[in-house]
Chain A
Amino acid sequence: MFAFIIRRLLQSVLVMLTVALIAFALFRFVGDPINNLVGQDTTLQDRQKLRETLGLNDSVVVQYWRYVVNTAKGDFGYSYMHRRPVKTMLLERMPATLELSIISILLALFIGVPMGVYTSLRRDGFLAKIFMSISLIGISLPTFLIGIMLILLFGVILRWLPTFGRGEVVALGTWTTGLLTVSGLKALIMPAITLALFQMTLIMRLVRSEMLEVLRTDYIKFARARGLSNRAVNFGHALKNTLVPVITITGLQLGSVIAFAIITESVFQWPGMGRMFIEAVADVDIPVMAAYLCLIALFFVVINLIVDLLYYAVDPRLRVDGGGSGGHG
C-alpha cells in the first residue's frame, strides 16, 4: 500500500514538472518577457537592469527551477495585458468557474443516472428510445451551439432568463457566490445546463451499458430466483454495482468540465477563469496562459490521484500483487 502511494505520488509530481516545463518554455521563449513588461521608451540600461533583477541572465536550468518554486508558491508573475499579479486575477475568477462546474456535474449526475437506469430497464420502451436519440444529439451538438439555442429560446424569445453575466453575487470572505441571490441563481441556469448536457449524455450512456452488463450476471439471476422484488434487484443489487465506475468516470470528468467551461463561459460572458484564458490566448498574455495551464494540470493530477487511491481502497483485486499495476487504472 505504502509503496503504491509513493509511486503514484512520484508519477504525479513528474507530470506536474513536465507541465511546468512547458509553461516555463512558453513564458521564457515565446516573445521577450522584457519587451512585454516595459514601454517603448525604456532605455537599454533600464532593460538590462530589469533583466538582471528578474534573473533572466541566469542559466536556463536555474531559471526553470526558480519558476517551479514560484509556481508551487502560487506566484505566476504579472499579466502583460492587465499589469496585475496573475494570482489575484485567478483567485477573483476561480469561484465563478468552480460554482458553474460543480453545479453542472451534479446536474449531469442527478439527471443522467436515472435516465440511464430507465433506458436499461425499459430497453424497447418509447421513452427510452427518445432518451437515446436525445443523447445522440447531445453528443453531436457542439457546446456553444446548445448555449446559443438556449439564449435564443429563453433569453430572446421568451425573455425568462438573463443571457450574460453572473447576476448579483455575495462576497463570503474572498469567495464570491451567486448561489445566494435570485438573480445569481437565474443567471446560473442556462450556463449550467449547457455545460451539463454533454456530461449528462455521457453518464446516461455509461449507466445504461453498465446496467445491461450487470443485469446479465449470475448473481442478478440468483437474486431473482430468490424471489426478491424487481425493485430490490434493480436498485439494491444492480444499480449499486454500476455506480462504482460511474462515480469514477464522473470524478475524472470534473477536470474536463472545468476545461470545457471555457466555451460555456465565453458564450454566456460568465466571468470565470476560462474566459480569462480565452482573452489571454487572443492577447498572447503568456503568464496568464501558463498559469491557467498549471492550474488545470493540478486539478487533473489531484483528481486522478484521488480516484486511483480510492480505487485501490475499494477494489481488493488491485492489492494482490503488492499494488504494482494499480496506477494505470
Chain B
Amino acid sequence: MAVEAAAMAERGGEVPDLSLWRRTIDLLQRARDSDIWYSFKRSPITIVAAAVTAVIILSALFASWVAPHNPFDLATIDLMNASIPPAWMADGDTRFLLGTDDQGRGILSTIIFGARISLGVGFASVVFALIVGVGLGLISGYVGGTVDAVIMRIADIQLSFPAILLALLVDGVARGLLPRETHDELAIYVLVFSIGISGWVQYARTVRGSTLVEKNKEYVQAARVIGRPAILIILRHVLPNVMGPVMVIATIHLALAIITEATLSFLGVGVSPTEPSLGTLINVGQDYLFSGEWWIALFPGAVLAILVLAVNLLGDWLRDALNPKLR
C-alpha cells in the first residue's frame, strides 16, 4: 500500500492524503469480503442487470461524447435526413444506426439524450421522495402521539390512490398556478415534485416502523440520558440504523419513477417537448406507427423497457441480499 501511495505521489507530483487513501483501500477490501458482493458474484442475472444499468447510466451521463450526433444542435440537423429507416434495412444510412425521426434527428442520439432526462427526473424524484418520506417517518416514529397519528392518516389516505393519479393532479394544479411560459421552464421541477410527492408514503411507513423499534434500544436511551437534543439523536443515532430497507425501496422506486415519468410525458403532461425524455419520444413516435415508421417509437420503448427491467432485477436482488432471513 505504501508503495502504491509513493507511486501515486511520484506521478501526481504531490503527496495524497494517506489516511484517506488507506480508508478507501480498507473500504474496498471490506466490500470485497462482504456478503453482498458474494451474493452479487453468484447471480449471473444480477451481473447482467447491473452491467446494462451501468451502460445506460454512463451513456446518459456522457451523452455529449457518446451520442453520434447532438439532436438539439440545429446546425447538425438536416431535414433531408428525415425518416430514414435503421441502418440494416434497405434504405438505411450507416450514419444513423437506428434510423431518424421526422425532423432528421438520429434515433440513437435522441434516445441517449432522452435517457438522460428520464434518469435525471427518476433519480431526482427518488431523492425527493426519500428525503420527505424518511424525514416524516423519523418524526412520526420518534415523536409519536398526535403528530404520528396525523402523518400516518395522511399516508393512509394517499396510499389508497394510485401514484399516477396524484402525479397527474399535481401537474394539473401547477399548470393552473403558473403562467404558461414559467410552467414550460419549470416543467422538469414540477415533474420531479409530482412524482416524488406521490411516492413518499412507502419510505415513511418503513422508517416509522424501524424507528419505533430503535427508539427503545439502549443506545438511544443512553444518548437521551446524557442530554443530547432529540434532533441530534434522530440524525446521528436513529437514522443510520433505519437506512437499510430504505435503499431497497429506493431501488424499486427508481424503476417506478422512471415508468411514471415516461407515462406522464407520454400523456403529454410531463417534460416540455423541447427536452424530450424517453416517454416523449414514444409519444411522438406513436403518430408515425401508422405510416410504417415503427422505429421512431419502438427503439425508445425498448430502451425504456430494458432499463426498467434491469433496475427492477437489481432491486429484487438487493432485497434478497439484505434480507437476513434468506441467508
Contact = CB atoms under 8 A, between A and B. Distances in A.
B169 A145 contact: no
A148 B289 contact: yes
B312 A140 contact: yes
A313 to B, nearest CB: 21
A266 interface: yes
Given A15-B157, A139-B312, A142-B308, A148 B301 contact: yes
B259 A263 contact: no
Per DSSP, are chain B's interface residues mostly helix, strand or loop, or mixed?
helix
Contact of A30 (B176, B292, B297, B308): B176
Interface residues of B, number: 36
Interface string B181-195: 000000000000000
A267 B267 CA distance: 8
Nearest to A275: B267
A109 interface: no
Interface in B261-315: 262-263, 266-269, 282, 286, 289-290, 292, 294, 297-298, 301, 304-305, 308-309, 312
B177 A30 contact: yes
B172 interface: yes
A293 interface: yes
A297 B161 contact: yes
Contact of A140 (B255, B292, B298): B255
A140 to B, nearest CB: 4
Contacts of B175: 281-282, 284
Contacts of B229: none
A286 interface: yes
Contacts of B309: 136-137, 140
Per DSSP, are chain A's interface residues mostly helix, strand or loop, or mixed?
helix
B161 A30 contact: no
Given A30-B176, A136-B312, A156-B290, A145 B301 contact: yes
A142 B267 contact: no
Contacts of B169: 281, 289, 293
B84 interface: no
Contacts of B301: 145, 148-149
A220 interface: no
Given A136-B312, A259-B165, A142 B263 contact: yes
A144 interface: yes
13 contacts: A31-B177, A142-B262, A145-B304, A148-B289, A148-B301, A149-B298, A156-B292, A259-B162, A263-B164, A278-B168, A281-B269, A300-B160, A304-B160
Interface of B: 157, 160-162, 164-165, 168-169, 171-173, 175-177, 255, 259, 262-263, 266-269, 282, 286, 289-290, 292, 294, 297-298, 301, 304-305, 308-309, 312
Top 7 closest pairs, chain A to chain B, by CB: A30-B176, A281-B172, A140-B309, A284-B176, A259-B162, A256-B162, A142-B259
